[in-house]
Structure 1
Amino acid sequence: MPSPVLSAPSESVVEATVLPRLIRLGPNLCGAAFTLMKLLPARFMLDRAEQRGELGPGTTILETSSGTFALGLAMVCRLRGYPLVIVGDPAIDPALRRRLLELGTRVEICTEPSPEGGFQRARLDRLEELRAQYPDHYVPGQYHNPDNPHAYAAVAEQLTESLGVVDCLVGPVGSGGSTGGTAAFLRLLNSDLRQIGVDTSPSAIFGQPDGPRTVRGLGNSLVPPNVRHAAYDEVHWAGAAEVFRATRELHARHALYMGPTSGAAFLVARWYAERHPDAQVVALLPDEGHRYQDSVYRDEWLAAQGFTDEPPATAPRTVTHPGLALGGWARMDWHRRSLDDALRAPGAPGTGEPR
């Protein structure tokens, strides 16, 4: 029996886990499963800032995040010795907050949403106040910094080397970095690549009114500048019941213990791959599911939330306007339009135009 091939140790956990594992999930479906996807842009942004001379010894890094970008930054900052202040909101669960504190991060929680823009706006306002308190600071700015999508050139290169031409890329949309950045580089080889964004309702990213969301990690109260709407061919708004079922199926069938954003991408990518058997489809699976072991992975929690009362939808309904996609699982042919053009499409709620 041949001996296993041994490789040299990585210099850090960041270097060891920054790229995804590529796992076959179907005849024409591959999952790019990250341990923590936001490590990649966190590292890349700090690398570029150091190269530009915007970071030096003692520079404090300030950022707004209530999810995994905060954790990615905390890991990189701890290893490089940068002080880090994260501005979050109550969506930061106790386990994540403990990890941030353990890594030496100062965590500030905005307890009240802004009247316009919700918690995202409140966090951004507090970030501006902190900038005045720290003369030597750097703000990565995941929502507007072009280094965020540029970081995913490495993922596009990995996919191309392993799979060849990719026909369809499916991924959740939050800051606009991962799906948009990866697709932009893949389109250098295949301009016909179909880019499918996955959101949830109600979310402002693709033109819906903002509101409370059940699926964590998806949706936004504001439209991040890094979201290039005109790059998307199709948009899905995944319902919570469908997302949670797909997350559990990803584990039960493929032993991939992932979070609900990964379940959302898997849900849509599987649906598309089954209907296009000749297309090579890739789903971006952002992070693992350990933060959700007491919620999504507990039958009692799902039942208490009412997600076991009715069977989830097995296919999306097709709509012609984002306002018609509220509730459940819906899809819209986006046709690489700007957000304004998509919102002017016939069939807007209350217009009386054909749907």
Structure 2
Amino acid sequence: MSAGEDYLRAYETPRFAQLAPNLNAACFSLMKLMPARFMVDRAEASGRLKRGGHIIETTSGTFGLAIAMLAATRGYALTLVTASSLIDLKLKRRLEQLGAKVIAIDDPQGDGNQRGRLEYLHKTLQNNPDTYWPRQYDSPENRLAYARLADLVVRSLGRVDCLVGCVGTGGSLCGTGGFLRELFPDLRMIAVDTHRSMLFGQPVGRRILRGLGNSVLPDNVRHEMIDDIHWVGALPAYAMAHGLFRDHGLFMGPTSGAAALVGAWFARQNPEASTVVIMPDEGHRHSDTVYNPDWLAGLKDWPISLEPTVLKRIHPAEETAWTRFPWDRRTLSGVLAEFDGSSPAERQV
């Protein structure tokens, strides 16, 4: 790490907050700096990324900001490929101020158009073979980066019985949980997704809640590690984010709200278990939306349930819904075969 990067370490180091006697949260300013730094360091060491080189990645949010901060301090050119439905003007300006070139691919379906973004990325790599692609969705380096988080959790909190985290690439939950299970083999891992994300077999469609879920299936999502899956709609996540700020002084984003909602429920149901929830994002990026009363006024009233509805069959739900499905450490293909035998790619709405 160069001297110019010392200030970045605080962004990727969580502070731990106790939300209940048996519930603690790892609260990040910018969690994605942890895997971004790990991946760039190893690319440099292996020669995949040369001095003054070019980096390209597909991202819809904070991984892009993290890699842009690193690229700026280390002198790399950077291209970030996103979807027109995802990139907000404030974030785009921040990325461009850091020197990144931001490519926004049309997204007529509103699902993030991950396939279109990857097509653009692959064409760029064909024309520029020396470009480094971190491959946050599929590279095992993403998961391996979270050994540091597992170490910080154990040093700060001791025994962990349950780990709760949102899933987008799969890196943070499956990486941290994998290392923690080396110490605590009975550790429960609860994945938090959102409706119309294909990660756990739902039909793909337009998602309101962003920062979790996906319209492609990353290799880093290790289904066989997961005990339970919760699908949280946008409104419950927004409401919990407000509650974190009001009750605990934690100004976090809606992804963190979704994770905290599920973590708090599990902790209530299991008062003897030590539960840790990963909260990856602060709320500043969402000050004009999730924390803006005028923006929220355009949404429905908030009939927020304190309990998830247990599903017997995987299906999408309304944005006020919170649903749960016992996954029981099975493969995705094994779970889907119990219903209709379709593949995730075939499940479209």
Give me the TM-score of the superposition, normalised by structure 1.
Answer: 0.91
Deviations 1:172-230, CA, capped at 9 Å, x for gaps: 00001001100000000011100000000011000011000111112111111110000
Q: Distance in 1 between matches of 2:115 and 2:7?
A: 33
Write out aligned runs for 1:298-313 (5 A). Answer: 298-306=292-300, 309-313=301-305
Conserved in 1, the CA contact under 8 Å of 2:165 and 2:277? Answer: yes
Q: Distance in 1 between matches of 2:299 and 2:318?
A: 19
Partner residue, 2:69: 75
The answer to whether structure 1 residue 123 and structure 2 residue 150 are counterparts is no
The answer to whether structure 1 residue 338 and structure 2 residue 331 are counterparts is yes
The answer to whether structure 1 residue 281 and structure 2 residue 272 are counterparts is no
Partner residue, 2:227: 233
Deviations 1:294-327, CA, capped at 9 Å, x for gaps: 1111222222122xx2421111000123226665
Partner residue, 2:91: 96
Write out aligned runs for 1:1-355 (5 A). Answer: 11-90=5-84, 91-112=86-107, 119-306=113-300, 309-323=301-315, 328-345=321-338
Cα drift, residue 347 of structure 1: 9.3
Q: Distance in 1 between matches of 2:227 and 2:19?
A: 23
Count of residue correspondences: 338
Conserved in 2, the CA contact under 8 Å of 1:323 and 1:348? Answer: no
**SS state of the match for residue 297, structure 2?**
helix
Q: Distance in 1 between matches of 2:293 and 2:109?
A: 34
Cα drift, residue 10 of structure 1: 8.6
Conserved in 2, the CA contact under 8 Å of 1:320 and 1:345? Answer: no
Conserved in 2, the CA contact under 8 Å of 1:114 and 1:121? Answer: no
Q: Distance in 1 between matches of 2:7 and 2:236?
A: 33
Distance 1:11 1:108, change over 3 A: closer
Q: Distance in 2 between matches of 1:150 and 1:11?
A: 21
Q: Distance in 1 between matches of 2:108 and 2:218?
A: 17
Give me the TM-score of the superposition, normalised by structure 2.
Answer: 0.93
Conserved in 1, the CA contact under 8 Å of 2:83 and 2:112? Answer: no
Distance 1:231 1:326, change over 3 A: farther
**SS state of the match for residue 314, structure 1?**
coil
Q: Distance in 2 between matches of 1:10 and 1:135?
A: 29
Conserved in 1, the CA contact under 8 Å of 2:4 and 2:73? Answer: no
Structure 2 runs not aligned, ≥5 long: 343-349
Structure 1 stretch displaced more, 325-334 or 215-224: 325-334
Greater Cα radius of gyration, structure 1 or 2: 1
What is the one-letter code of the residue matched to 1:165?
A: R
Structure 1 stretch displaced more, 15-24 or 162-171: 15-24
